[in-house]
Amino acid sequence: MKRYYQPEIETMPVEQIQALQSERLVEQVKFVYENVEFYRNRMDEAGVKPEDIHGIEDLHKLPFITKDDLRDQYPYGLLGVPLKDCVRIQSTSGTTGRRVVAFYTQEDLDVWEECCARAIVAAGGTNEDVCHVCYGYGLFTGGPGLNGGSHKVGCLTLPMSSGNTERQLQFMTDLGSTIICCTPSYAANLGETIKERGLKDQLKLKAGIFGAEPWTEEMRHNIEDLLGIKAYDIYGLTEISGPGVSFECEEQAGMHIQEDHFIPEIINPDTGEVLPEGEIGELVFTCITKKAFPLIRYRTRDLCYLTRKPCSCGRTHIRMHKPMGRSDDMMVIKGVNVWPSQIESVLLNQGYQANYQIVVDRVGNNDTCEVQVELTPEMAEDTSVTVAQRESKVVKGLKSMLGIKVDVKVVEPKTITRSEGKAVRVIDKRDLYK
């Protein structure tokens, strides 16, 4: 029995998708104007009426909405339907301020799970698969989203949640998990343990669906090698529904955005101007089918670019390039813009694994940055290269990537804390002085 069919919508000609988006946008704008006071006020202030929106070409007339707006409207200010029609909440971790709580009707949940199902199908999933979900369950969207998607595909679903590596490995080997869903940093962590214990031959894994944090191509190769799988990227955010807003197909060349539900735009983060295809800027989403928490022109703070180049998989939905991180992940060190992902690339290219930490501080008026990276067990055994030589090589690699000199400390294996969910790579002590 096949319980999930890849909908034709994913391969529709672009003009048809855009016509569908236009139709849905017009309805959605009318819906939020009539049902959400916040949008009514914002649109009135901007002098835009629902009648002014005839299709996607008018999207730019609508005001943006930001994370601060969500915080101000917490908890119920953006609800599009009466509370009695909502069946679920999910929430962000709230580490950078007040939590964002997103609401779902049953239909919203169905759409979200369908998007996750499409991601699993794109990674080769069928009802013959055993889908091992070790994203966190609970308020975080990772576990519930992929769990629902896996059910829709008809996979045998293992709702493992995060952590407890022993139990993960036992279920994975005993039940023959074929698809694994977790953060890339946890996948690397599991891969390391599998290598140490020589368990790779006992695994049936063929694919992994990894997201929720930025990860580099180097890290993808590292995980594919450690687990013997093909690693697919998946993107999403709580505000817009959760994982599955976009995902990779077998081409592994950017993530197809589910355009029948979300309209993407790329804007200049400083001016708000909409940028043409191919230019890097801040990703903005408009939800055209969600009802409980309907965000219009939501500024994600994620930086990437879009491409409509045809994809050999046959999907016509626009692709977004892997976000290099949130605009707020970017560090300014010694006056230079530095992304953790640039540091990760250098380290993994020199044979290290993704066990590193970046400590930024300020001494007097000067910024300091120390990159701590763990020796792999093989490196620790190889006495032909000294620690000082290794450090100096990383310093050089980072200087050429970043344009500034940072300190490097190579540390013993297993000294940097492993991540079970989203990895915390940066400790910026300068934040304490703010």
Q: How far is the CB of 238 from ligand DLL (least distance, A)?
A: 3
Residue 90 sits at φ, ψ, to 5 deg, of: -135, 165
Residue nearest to ligand DLL (CB): 211
For ligand DLL, the binding residue among 21, 22, 28, 92 (CB under 6 A) is 92
Q: Whole-number minimum distance, CB 94 to ligand DLL, in Å?
A: 10
Residue 300: CB minimum distance to ligand DLL, A: 5
Cβ proximity of 304 and 235 under 8 Å: no
In whole angstroms, how close is the CB of 302 to ligand DLL at the nearest point?
5
**Cα dihedral sign, 75-159-115-180:** positive
Binding ligand DLL by CB under 6 A: which of 4, 135, 262, 352? Answer: 135
Q: Which run of H or E residues covers position 305?
A: none
Q: Does 302 bind ligand DLL (CB under 6 A)?
A: yes
* Residue number with CB closer to ligand DLL (211 or 340): 211
- Taking CB under 6 A as the criterion, which residues in 374-413 touch ligand DLL? none
Residue where the block lists tokens 């074929």: 178
Nearer Cβ to ligand DLL, position 29 or 231?
231
Residue type, 414: K
Applying CB under 6 A, does 322 fall inside the site for ligand DLL?
Answer: yes
Closest distance of CB 138 from ligand DLL, Å: 12
Nearer to ligand DLL, 233 or 367 (CB): 233
| Strand 242-248 with 255-257, pairing | antiparallel
Residue 77 CB coordination number (10 Å): 13
From residue 373, give the alpha-carbon distance in Å to each of 283, 358, 391, 406: 31, 9, 9, 13
- The structure tokens 């999930």 sit at 4
Report the C-alpha gap between 58 and 38 in whole angstroms.
20
Q: Distance (Å, rounded) from C-alpha 376 to C-alpha 119? A: 33
- Based on the shown chain and the rule CB under 6 A, indicate whether residue 80 belongs to the binding site for ligand DLL: no
Nearest distance from C-beta of residue 197 to ligand DLL, angstroms = 27
Q: How far apart, in whole angstroms, are the C-alpha atoms of residue 385 and residue 393?
A: 11
Q: Which is nearer to ligand DLL, 302 or 374 (CB)?
A: 302
What type of residue is 16? Q
Each residue 210-249 as x (binds ligand DLL by CB under 6 A) or -, in order, gives: -xxxx------------------xxxxxx---xx------
The size of the interface with ligand DLL (CB under 6 A), counted in residues, is 21
What is the nearest approach in angstroms of ligand DLL to the Cβ of residue 84? 26
Q: Residue 242 is encoded by which pair of tokens?
A: 């959760």
Structure tokens at 308: 């409509």
Q: Cis omega (within 30 of 0) on the bond before 75?
A: yes
The answer to the question of residue 131 lying near ligand DLL (CB under 6 A) is no
Q: Whole-angstrom Cα distance, residue 205 to residue 200?
A: 9
* Binding of ligand DLL by 148 (CB under 6 A): no
Residue 161 in contact with ligand DLL, rule: CB under 6 A: no
- The whole-angstrom separation of Cα 354 and Cα 344 is 7
The piece of 10-18, 46-54, 318-326, 425-433 that touches ligand DLL (CB under 6 A) is: 318-326
- Considering the rule CB under 6 A, would residue 300 count as an interface residue with ligand DLL? yes
For the beta carbon of residue 267, count every other beta carbon within 10 angstroms. 19
The binder of ligand DLL chosen from 321, 326, 414, 418 (CB under 6 A): 326
Q: Which of 219, 216, 98, 234 is nearest to 179 (CA)?
A: 234
Point out which span in 80-88, 135-143, 157-165, 344-352 binds ligand DLL (CB under 6 A): 135-143
Q: Among the candidate windows 17-25, 34-42, 320-328, 351-359, which touches ligand DLL by CB under 6 A?
A: 320-328
CB of 100 to ligand DLL, least distance (A): 7
Instruction: Give me the least distance between CB of 133 and ligand DLL, in Å please.
Output: 10
- As beta bridge partners, residue 331 has 338
**Helix, strand and coil in the chain, % to nearest 5:** 35, 25, 40
Which two three-digit tokens encode residue 210?
């990894």
Considering the complex, what minimum distance in angstroms separates the CB of residue 146 from ligand DLL?
Answer: 7
Strands 156-159 and 130-133: parallel
- Binding residue for ligand DLL (CB under 6 A) from 80, 125, 142, 264? 142
Q: How far is the CB of 281 from ligand DLL (least distance, A)?
A: 15
Residues that bind ligand DLL (CB under 6 A): 92, 135, 141-142, 211-214, 233-238, 242-243, 300, 302, 322-323, 326
